[in-house]
């Protein structure tokens, strides 16, 4: 089973799936369009959140970073006058250093991800969507900025006028992604932001064409008419689609089974179930419900 993931909503689903699916049966392809260099180290936020979730290390209060991590290095950098805009934990930074040292030696991101997974004891296959550089750029009235500047530094406050993925036209799915698309019959699009988390994965050359031959199951990141977290609503409006399940379906394209929350107003073909995952038990319940739907459909 192949899961397409961003960095917040889908890891909550993975928290449940990993308890009922063997590691050999669970593979995850992760968005990399929000990656960036910070203080000399390469951060891949969505990959890290997926890896930390599968390694039982994720900070479940924030859904990024490592639980119990301290920020001594970050705090000391601020004291020295370094404007480090992301609050990076010390253990989290060690992972970034591990990755960056490999990247500087010319190792591809997909292979560095394998190495980190091995070091953390993650047995599931975790693959970046591409080994090429893709960046999410948000156009606002305050100027054009990287997604992390928009979401972290400015807390998503500016009005969004455009969303652009630089480097996407030249980027190719990494070999591991293509291999999974060839082998897996079912692809689950997780409940992540359909614009900036799932959008870049689907937009890579050849991905949508290959999904035409697969059974595609998508879970909406909306509960009722609001996203559970993140700036999805604002970004969807900027992309010209309604900020609801209808807009999610329009952005994702070909879906064979669309799962929405019981509170949804969506009128199209779908299956309704409780999709809010605030606890591990709720994640497990959604995962079991999803697998039952897939087996019965």
Do 282 and 276 contact (CB within 8 A), yes or no?
yes
What 3-state DSSP class applies to 15? helix
Average pLDDT, the chain: 95
pLDDT value at 297 more than 80: no
> pLDDT (tens digit, 9 = 90+) per residue, 184-209?
999 999 999 999 999 999 999 999 99
Per-residue confidence (pLDDT) for residue 228, from 0 to 100: 83
> pLDDT (tens digit, 9 = 90+) per residue, 30-69?
999 999 999 999 999 999 999 999 999 999 999 999 999 9
pLDDT band, residue 106 (cuts 50/70/90): very high
* 3-class SS string, 229-243: CCCHHHHHHHCCCCC
Do 229 and 9 contact (CB within 8 A), yes or no?
yes
Q: Give the separation between CA 205 and CA 202, rounded to whole angstroms.
A: 8
Q: Give the separation between CA 24 and CA 22, rounded to whole angstroms.
A: 5
Q: Give the separation between CA 289 and CA 276, rounded to whole angstroms.
A: 12
> pLDDT (tens digit, 9 = 90+) per residue, 244-279?
999 999 999 999 999 999 999 999 999 999 999 999
User: Under 8 Å CB-to-CB from 129, ≥6 apart: which residues?
Assistant: 29, 30, 31, 32, 33, 173, 174, 177, 200, 201, 204
Report the pLDDT averaged over residues 9-29.
97
User: Worst-scoring range by mean pLDDT, 9-18, 29-38, 49-58, 138-147?
Assistant: 138-147
Per-residue confidence (pLDDT) for residue 128, from 0 to 100: 98
Per-residue confidence (pLDDT) for residue 229, from 0 to 100: 79
Q: Give the separation between CA 75 and CA 72, rounded to whole angstroms.
A: 5
In degrees rounded to 5, what are phi and psi of residue 143?
Answer: 120, 180
pLDDT band, residue 285 (cuts 50/70/90): very high
Report the pLDDT averaged over residues 76-101.
96
Question: 29-50 b/e with 16+ CB inside 10 Å = b?
Answer: bbbbbbbbeebebbbbbbbbbb
pLDDT value at 296 more than 90: no
pLDDT band, residue 156 (cuts 50/70/90): confident
> pLDDT (tens digit, 9 = 90+) per residue, 204-251?
999 999 999 999 999 999 997 788 877 889 999 999 999 999 999 999
Nearest residue to 30 (alpha-carbon basis) of 55, 9, 16: 9
CA of residue 70 relative to chain centroid, distance = 24
| 280-296 helix and 9-20 helix, angle to the nearest 10 degrees | 70
Q: Give the separation between CA 292 and CA 297, rounded to whole angstroms.
A: 9
Per-residue confidence (pLDDT) for residue 153, from 0 to 100: 85
pLDDT value at 136 more than 90: yes
Nearest residue to 12 (alpha-carbon basis) of 197, 183, 270: 197
Q: Give the separation between CA 215 and CA 188, rounded to whole angstroms.
A: 8
Percent of the chain with pLDDT over 70: 100
């Amino acid at each position: 089973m192949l899961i397409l993931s961003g960095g917040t909503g889908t890891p909550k689903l993975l928290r449940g799936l990993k308890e009922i699916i063997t590691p050999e049966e669970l593979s995850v392809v992760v968005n990399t369009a929000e990656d960036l260099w910070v203080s000399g180290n390469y951060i891949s936020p969505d990959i890290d959140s997926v890896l930390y979730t599968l390694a039982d290390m994720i900070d479940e209060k924030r859904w990024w970073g490592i639980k119990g991590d301290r920020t001594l290095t970050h705090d000391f950098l601020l004291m020295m006058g370094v404007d480090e805009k992301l609050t990076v934990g010390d253990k989290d930074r060690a992972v970034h250093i591990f990755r960056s040292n490999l990247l500087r030696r010319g190792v591809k991101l997909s292979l560095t991800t394998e190495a980190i997974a091995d070091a953390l004891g993650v047995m599931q296959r975790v693959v970046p969507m591409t080994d090429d550089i893709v960046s999410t750029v948000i156009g606002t009235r305050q100027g054009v900025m990287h997604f992390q500047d928009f979401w972290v530094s400015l807390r998503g406050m500016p009005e969004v006028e455009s969303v652009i993925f630089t480097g996407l036209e030249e980027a190719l799915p990494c070999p591991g992604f293509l291999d999974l698309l060839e082998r897996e019959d079912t692809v689950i699009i997780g409940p992540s932001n359909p614009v900036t988390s799932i959008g870049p994965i689907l937009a890579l050359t050849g991905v949508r064409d290959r999904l035409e031959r697969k059974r595609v199951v998508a879970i909406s990141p909306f509960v009722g008419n609001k996203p559970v977290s993140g700036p999805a609503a604002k970004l969807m409006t900027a992309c010209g689609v309604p900020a609801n399940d209808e807009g999610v379906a329009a952005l994702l394209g070909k879906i064979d089974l669309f799962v929405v929350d019981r509170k949804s107003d969506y009128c199209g073909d779908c299956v309704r179930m409780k999709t809010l995952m605030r606890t591990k038990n709720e994640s497990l319940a959604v995962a079991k419900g999803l697998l039952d739907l897939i087996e019965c459909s």
